[in-house]
Chains A and B, each alone.
Chain A
Amino acid sequence: MYDMKALYEAQSVRDAIRLRLEHPEAQIIAGGSDVLVQMREGRRAGKELISIYMLDELRGVSLDEEDSIRIGSLTSFSHITRDPIIQQYINVLGEAVDQVGSPQIRNIGTIGGNTCNGVTSADSASTLFALDAIVELTGQNGVRRLPIRDFYIKAGQVDIRAGEGEIQTAILIPKESYENCFGKYIKYGMRNAMEIASLGCSVNVRLSPDRKYIRRCRIAYGVAGPVPMRVPTAEAAANGARPTRGMIDEFAEAVLLDIKPRDSWRASKAFRQHIAVEMARRALTEAIERAGGVIE
């Protein structure tokens, strides 16, 4: 039995916006795998909820007119993992969200919920950062799109304007961002399932046509700071470089210049730093190999 003040079921995106404007204090609920847990714990007890779970228009993966990959915000993790467009172009995202919790959670949890939570450990987030994803928000003033790095404001807070009735409606990956890119996500947890990342690392590369050079490398972490983050110093070390063991080591150690993991009872800063370097090394190696590159 949940301590819930009211539940409003949105019938359309327009309806959801209306409900949001009418009930500014209400919490949006999609799959509920976070919201209901928090409600049970008493953190959101007594709140009003607006459910958008029935909005099928927000489900599914497609290519838009500009060949951007459009992922509806209510698309579940298991849907994303099995989607042919995802598998063809950005399989790394499918692999990343396949590491969320358990099969049951992956069936109910949505990518919109995963990002709107604003938590740094979200399994989708580091890969979306590494892919320069665009977040689409829809409110009373229409559609607003912003880069995912601007969407995250601080831990637990994202740029959704409740006052304008906004809800997140899609996540977009522009063609330039995924074309000829190969990626690898490594989740570091204390066990192999039912886990929240102690650290997540997503790397993707585009090699030169002869596969001898890294044209572009992007790397992002979850739990290396209050929000997911890119590590530009390491990227700069890889961009344009020939993939060698030495170069990869240099790249991996460079992540320490940008990441800011903290000490907590869940893991020490020193531990996270050590693991971050090893993850960068392994993720880049794997991404290069997936791109058909050979490491000298």
Chain B
Amino acid sequence: MTVSIVGTSEPRVDGYDKAAGRTKYYEDRMPAEALFVKLKHAEKAHAIVRSIDTAEAEAIDGVVKVLTCFDVPELPFPTAGHPWSMDPGHQDVADRLLLNRHVRYWGDEVALVIAENEVAASQGVRALKVEYEELPFVLDAQKAMEPDAPRLHERFPNNILKHSDIRIGDYKTAIREPGLVKVEGWYETPTVQHAHIENHGCFAYMENGRITVVSSTQIPHIVRRVVGQALGRPWADIQIIKPYVGGGFGNKQDVLYEPLCAWCCTQVGGRPVRVDCSREETFVSNRVRHAIRFHIVTWLRPDATIAARKVELWSNQGAYASHGHSIAAKALGSFPQHYPCQHFEGDAWTVFTNRPAAGAMRGYGMPQASFADESNIDDCARVMGMEPMEFRRLNIMPQGFHDSFSGNTNYYDSFRQCMDRGAALIDYARKREEYSHDSGPIRRGIGLATFWYNTAVYPISLETSSNRMLLNLDGTVTLQCGETEIGQGADTAYAQMTAEALGLASYRDVRVVSCQDTDITPTGLGAYASRQTYVAGFSIRQTAGLLKEKILKYAQELTRQSPDCMDIVAGNIVRRGDGALLMSLKELAMTAQYNPVHSEHLTAESTYTIRNNAYSFGCSFAEVEVDIPMCKAQVKRIINVHDCGRLINPALAEAQVHGGQSMGIGFGLSEQLLFDEKTGKPLNNNLLDYKLSTFLDHPRLEADFIQNPEPSSPYGTKALGEPPTCSPAPAIRNAILQATGVAVNHIPINPHTLFAAFTEAGLIRDPWREEV
């Protein structure tokens, strides 16, 4: 009897409680006596704080303490949720203080008020009088590199955090080949925000001289280290507890207010204090996605193959380093693998500006790169008079392609398989033909875009995963895993993988301890880089093997059978040779615990250092209807096809894709954080003016999968967390191109963008503009 638990669409282990509203998030664990911390955000884009008058705030009833940028320790710390590197040259830039005298963006924290209630804390903040010395500011990455631009950080001339390049072959010589066609474009992506449902927040308290922080974070073990760095305390002196989290998308893959909260706690004698971000603060004073400007030059031969390619990109870092150049480097690195050519020249700059700090966000540079790359590729196809899918089939990463740095191989020709599946599902060829005849004010179009994605961060950073398993008295198994559930369904995948590896009857027989506590939970790195299911797979398989060995060894005492002759199947110890049922796991667990002669607590734990990576592939097909006079594009249908290896839980995989498509639709059509050019002030940092797409802006979201087993993974799986976000925006852009003939090279393609583009293209007339 074999039970297949992996690969089944099981309900989420936490689904019932979440639907019933019982799940405990950080606010549900709040000590009743916690003091409220409210932050004073600078209302200048670039300035030096001269003084802060706190007298009026301190006089407000209920205010406990006012702290300012003149009170904080001089201990610069980094915030990126990267694993610690033993190599100082590979450590993150430490450019943050808890509060800042040098204000580098509109919203930077300069002071805070601790009070007994929220109203007093807010009143206190409003009563603070801050005196600034204003400095010139810069919002655009390329302008920030100009010689006379204001400098944000002394250590970084021309505001360049980092520059990197890629050189393959000899681009300059290659472009002299006779008969080449040049396709050049500038492509631009906006500053957007994660807009997870649960805003970030945390609370801290002291117990026996140590500090505990309960936080809505993706990365508890990394937060522990950074809180230690920021407060100048031994890292092990800090305990981080991560309860259930209502989404993160990378924003919480950064250390946000945990160090500040911990420090506030030490300033009020260890009493519990809470920091809760409002939505408005989340937009500006957490992290955003890097806005990136791309310049791409593609040289095509008459046979439509790519002779040479040049890519330059400028990534807008905002005020602080956070994840920094990793995003731009990843974006640049995608090009020569996506469409390999013999001659490639690429340069990426990450540049500080007086905007909110950009950090990790679902896709980590790839949605930006994919928009630019796939727009340019459609432009190439158009110039060559070629059908865009055919152009891709000709030039895209071939089967067998191997990247020597990551060690990844395209084993199965996944790109072409994904495109073929998607084209069949959406009836691409017929619609492409049909829509090419559309004319008049309302036109339809269909477009396509592809992407590839790495799984986890090897070999750039450490990849490690640990977990612990315990056999319970009822024959179930408790799993503690360092990798975090943040809403994506990771715990359910772990339960399924554990149950299958141990031979339990059901994934319900695995109790996943969802909460990570750095004092107790085996060390994990957290939810990022679409890594968790892949990396946890290694350590779960390994620990399950260890526990199984211990169980069968104990079973040997009770059954007199050799462990080699036994197995665990559907929760029972069986003899391999004849399948005889020897005893249940429950009987074994009870006996092992209460055996007066040999009592044993059956548990196992292990760490697996992962030294593999895996290519994840996919594509989006989008159908749009464009109302030209109204300057509106509506997505009528969208299908993503992914090869993310073998699916652990198909229903959850599909849900993951839906979420990514939704994010991709917003990225492509409506979302953008805006700043006042005159002051640097954010204009739309709220859910009304920041246009997240709503249910009514979505068609039914469709997902399909090519399940080529990933050879490096014990479960045959690879990245799916971030990939669904990478390709919808360029697919929509390319559909609009087919519908209207207008190539829109910056997103979001909202009505303002379309108004300008259609006016320029002469699709809408505007005689009244001059008349009035």
Q: Considering the complex, which residues of chain A in the window 184-198 have a beta carbon less than 8 Å from any beta carbon of chain B? A: 188, 190-194, 196, 198
**Contact assessment for A191 and B670 in the assembled complex, using a CB-CB cutoff below 8 Å:** yes
CA gap between A191 and B695 in the complex, in Å: 10
User: Contact residues of B with A, CB < 8 Å?
Assistant: 117-119, 122-123, 126, 629-631, 670, 674, 676, 683-684, 687-689, 691-697, 750-752, 755, 764, 766, 768-769, 771-772
A231 to chain B, nearest CB (A): 13
7 A/B residue pairs, CB under 8 Å, sorted by A: A45-B123, A191-B670, A267-B752, A273-B772, A277-B768, A278-B629, A278-B630
The yes or no answer to A247 lying at the interface (CB within 8 A) is no
CB-based nearest A residue for B756:
A271
**Contact assessment for A191 and B697 in the assembled complex, using a CB-CB cutoff below 8 Å:** yes
10 nearest A-B residue pairs (beta carbon): A192-B696, A193-B694, A193-B696, A278-B629, A1-B118, A3-B119, A256-B768, A271-B755, A190-B691, A256-B772
CA gap between A29 and B371 in the complex, in Å: 47
**Contact assessment for B688 and A275 in the assembled complex, using a CB-CB cutoff below 8 Å:** no
- List chain B residues, Cβ under 8 A from A253: 768
CA gap between A277 and B771 in the complex, in Å: 13
- List chain B residues, Cβ under 8 A from A271: 631, 751-752, 755
**Contact assessment for B752 and A268 in the assembled complex, using a CB-CB cutoff below 8 Å:** yes
**Contact assessment for B695 and A273 in the assembled complex, using a CB-CB cutoff below 8 Å:** no
- List chain A residues, Cβ under 8 A from B123: 3, 45-46
CA gap between A3 and B764 in the complex, in Å: 49
CA gap between A2 and B751 in the complex, in Å: 37
CA gap between A42 and B772 in the complex, in Å: 39
- List chain B residues, Cβ under 8 A from A273: 768-769, 772
- Given A265-B674, A271-B755, A278-B629: A193 and B697 within 8 A (CB)? yes
CA gap between A190 and B632 in the complex, in Å: 9
**Contact assessment for B126 and A42 in the assembled complex, using a CB-CB cutoff below 8 Å:** yes
- Given A1-B117, A193-B695: A270 and B630 within 8 A (CB)? no
CB-based nearest A residue for B280:
A41
B417 to chain A, nearest CB (A): 35
CA gap between A196 and B122 in the complex, in Å: 28
- List chain B residues, Cβ under 8 A from A275: 630-631, 751
CB-based nearest A residue for B118:
A1
B85 to chain A, nearest CB (A): 42
CA gap between A194 and B696 in the complex, in Å: 10
CA gap between A281 and B127 in the complex, in Å: 52
- List chain B residues, Cβ under 8 A from A1: 117-119
CB-based nearest B residue for A1:
B118
**Contact assessment for A194 and B768 in the assembled complex, using a CB-CB cutoff below 8 Å:** no
A99 to chain B, nearest CB (A): 11
**Contact assessment for B122 and A194 in the assembled complex, using a CB-CB cutoff below 8 Å:** no
Q: Contacting B688 at CB < 8 Å: which of A188, A196, A256, A257?
A: A196
- List chain A residues, Cβ under 8 A from B750: 190
Q: Contacting A194 at CB < 8 Å: which of B674, B694, B764?
A: B694
CA gap between A275 and B687 in the complex, in Å: 24
The yes or no answer to A144 lying at the interface (CB within 8 A) is no
CB-based nearest B residue for A37:
B688
- Given A3-B123, A42-B126, A192-B697: A270 and B676 within 8 A (CB)? no
CA gap between A253 and B765 in the complex, in Å: 12
**Contact assessment for B683 and A265 in the assembled complex, using a CB-CB cutoff below 8 Å:** yes
Q: How many residues of A contact B (CB 8 A)?
A: 28
CA gap between A233 and B630 in the complex, in Å: 23
CA gap between A3 and B123 in the complex, in Å: 9
A170 to chain B, nearest CB (A): 29
- List chain B residues, Cβ under 8 A from A45: 122-123, 126
- List chain A residues, Cβ under 8 A from B766: 270, 274
- List chain B residues, Cβ under 8 A from A194: 687-688, 694
CB-based nearest B residue for A4:
B119
**Contact assessment for B122 and A191 in the assembled complex, using a CB-CB cutoff below 8 Å:** no
- List chain A residues, Cβ under 8 A from B769: 270, 273-274
A229 to chain B, nearest CB (A): 15
**Contact assessment for B694 and A256 in the assembled complex, using a CB-CB cutoff below 8 Å:** no
B683 to chain A, nearest CB (A): 5
- List chain B residues, Cβ under 8 A from A188: 630
CA gap between A42 and B280 in the complex, in Å: 13
- List chain B residues, Cβ under 8 A from A268: 752, 755
Instruction: Identify 18 new A-B residue pairs, CB closer than 8 A, beyond the known A190-B750, A271-B631.
Output: A1-B117, A1-B118, A2-B119, A192-B697, A194-B687, A265-B683, A266-B689, A268-B752, A268-B755, A270-B755, A270-B766, A271-B751, A271-B755, A273-B772, A274-B631, A275-B630, A275-B631, A278-B630
CA gap between A190 and B755 in the complex, in Å: 12
**Contact assessment for A274 and B689 in the assembled complex, using a CB-CB cutoff below 8 Å:** no
CA gap between A2 and B689 in the complex, in Å: 23
**Contact assessment for A191 and B694 in the assembled complex, using a CB-CB cutoff below 8 Å:** yes
CA gap between A192 and B631 in the complex, in Å: 14
**Contact assessment for A256 and B771 in the assembled complex, using a CB-CB cutoff below 8 Å:** yes
CA gap between A192 and B669 in the complex, in Å: 12
CA gap between A274 and B769 in the complex, in Å: 8
Q: Contacting B751 at CB < 8 Å: which of A42, A190, A277?
A: A190
Q: Mark A42-72, 1 if CB is under 8 A from B, else 0.
A: 1001100000000000000000000000000
CA gap between A192 and B755 in the complex, in Å: 18
CA gap between A124 and B193 in the complex, in Å: 32
CB-based nearest A residue for B627:
A278
CB-based nearest B residue for A257:
B772
B291 to chain A, nearest CB (A): 17
Of listed A3, A191, A273, residue having the most chain B CB within 10 A: A191
CA gap between A42 and B126 in the complex, in Å: 9
**Contact assessment for A274 and B755 in the assembled complex, using a CB-CB cutoff below 8 Å:** yes
- List chain A residues, Cβ under 8 A from B755: 268, 270-271, 274
- List chain B residues, Cβ under 8 A from A192: 694, 696-697
- List chain B residues, Cβ under 8 A from A198: 751
- List chain A residues, Cβ under 8 A from B118: 1
CB-based nearest A residue for B771:
A256
CB-based nearest A residue for B669:
A191
- List chain A residues, Cβ under 8 A from B122: 3, 42, 45
CA gap between A86 and B757 in the complex, in Å: 41
B175 to chain A, nearest CB (A): 40
CA gap between A257 and B118 in the complex, in Å: 51
A178 to chain B, nearest CB (A): 28
A34 to chain B, nearest CB (A): 12
CA gap between A253 and B767 in the complex, in Å: 10
- List chain B residues, Cβ under 8 A from A267: 752
CA gap between A95 and B117 in the complex, in Å: 43
CA gap between A268 and B751 in the complex, in Å: 11
A121 to chain B, nearest CB (A): 11
CA gap between A2 and B117 in the complex, in Å: 11
Q: Mark A257-283, 1 if CB is under 8 A from B, else 0.
A: 100000001111011011101100000
CA gap between A194 and B694 in the complex, in Å: 8
CB-based nearest B residue for A281:
B629
CA gap between A42 and B119 in the complex, in Å: 10
- List chain B residues, Cβ under 8 A from A42: 122, 126
CA gap between A278 and B764 in the complex, in Å: 11
B419 to chain A, nearest CB (A): 30
- Given A193-B696, A271-B752: A265 and B768 within 8 A (CB)? no
- List chain B residues, Cβ under 8 A from A196: 688
- List chain A residues, Cβ under 8 A from B692: 191
CA gap between A190 and B684 in the complex, in Å: 13
- List chain A residues, Cβ under 8 A from B117: 1
CB-based nearest A residue for B628:
A278
- List chain A residues, Cβ under 8 A from B674: 265
CB-based nearest A residue for B765:
A274
CA gap between A267 and B676 in the complex, in Å: 14
- List chain B residues, Cβ under 8 A from A46: 123
CA gap between A267 and B683 in the complex, in Å: 13
CB-based nearest B residue for A267:
B752
CB-based nearest A residue for B684:
A265
CA gap between A257 and B768 in the complex, in Å: 10
A12 to chain B, nearest CB (A): 31
CB-based nearest A residue for B677:
A265
CA gap between A123 and B284 in the complex, in Å: 30
CB-based nearest B residue for A277:
B768
- List chain B residues, Cβ under 8 A from A265: 674, 676, 683-684
